[in-house]
Amino acid sequence: MFSPEIREAIAQSMAAMSLWEVAAVVLALAYLLLAMRENILCWYAAFASTGIYLFLFWDVSLLMESALQIFYLVIAVYGWWQWRHPNRDGEKLHIHRWSAAMHLEAFAGVGALTLIFGYVLDNYTSAALPYLDSFTTWGAVVTTYMVTRKVLENWLYWIVIDGAAIYLYIDRGMYLTALLFVLYVVLVVIGFFQWYALYRRQQVEPEQALAT
């Protein structure tokens, strides 16, 4: 998938990478694997990984990506709370789907924010790849919220966002993180089918309960 030059750069990056980046990568993978299983421990891994990436992204001038990590810290706590506590009816949060109208609102919102923040970053800061940086940031904001609410389609959103992020990180020389996101794209496809199976099971269980 990568050219020989990039593969060599990845090898050099792995040899020179800090223990902090290794920890961030391991914790990020742990978050995704735990989320695929609806395991609440995913939010602990997310919080720790995010704290590390906050400083790593700032160091390579990905300003929006760095700011995104602050949001992730807050959303990790919010996601943990949502997954742990029942709603007002005393029911646990279940996997569900958004309507077409909600998806259109999400697309429009991410598109508008990408243009606005991309323009600001391009003209008033030294941010690298401002429009792509803004797209991955705001797309991730919406999609992470979808994870906290267990919206099934979050996995499909991640395919697009993580795919765009791969180019972003290669451009910034963060080859190990780019490689991580290649793996992410594979895992989120698996995650979608796992959550879809759980969603179908949750739809059948109430019907079976009514039948009995």
Q: Tens digit of pLDDT per residue, the chain (212 long)?
A: 556 766 676 666 665 557 787 888 889 889 999 999 989 999 999 999 999 988 888 887 777 778 878 888 999 999 999 998 866 666 778 899 999 999 999 999 999 999 999 999 899 888 788 899 899 989 999 999 999 999 999 999 999 999 999 988 888 777 877 888 899 999 999 999 999 999 999 887 655 544 55
For tokens 């949060």, the residue is 93
Tokens describing residue 120: 């600001």
CA nearest to 161, candidates 187, 135, 195, 192: 135
For tokens 């959550």, the residue is 195
CA nearest to 198, candidates 17, 40, 190: 190
CA nearest to 118, candidates 141, 91, 95, 137: 137
Residue 133 pairs with which residues in a beta bridge? none
CB 136 within 8 A of CB 62: no
Give whole-number Cα distances, 77 to 45, 73, 143, 169, 208, in Å. Answer: 11, 7, 16, 26, 34
- pTM for the model stands at 0.82
Element (H, E) at 155: helix 154-171
Distance CA 27, CA 181 (A): 13
Burial 75-85 (b: 16+ CB within 10 A, else e): bbebbbebbee
DSSP-assigned letters across all residues of 90-119: SPPP--B---HHHHHHHHHHHHHHHHHHHH
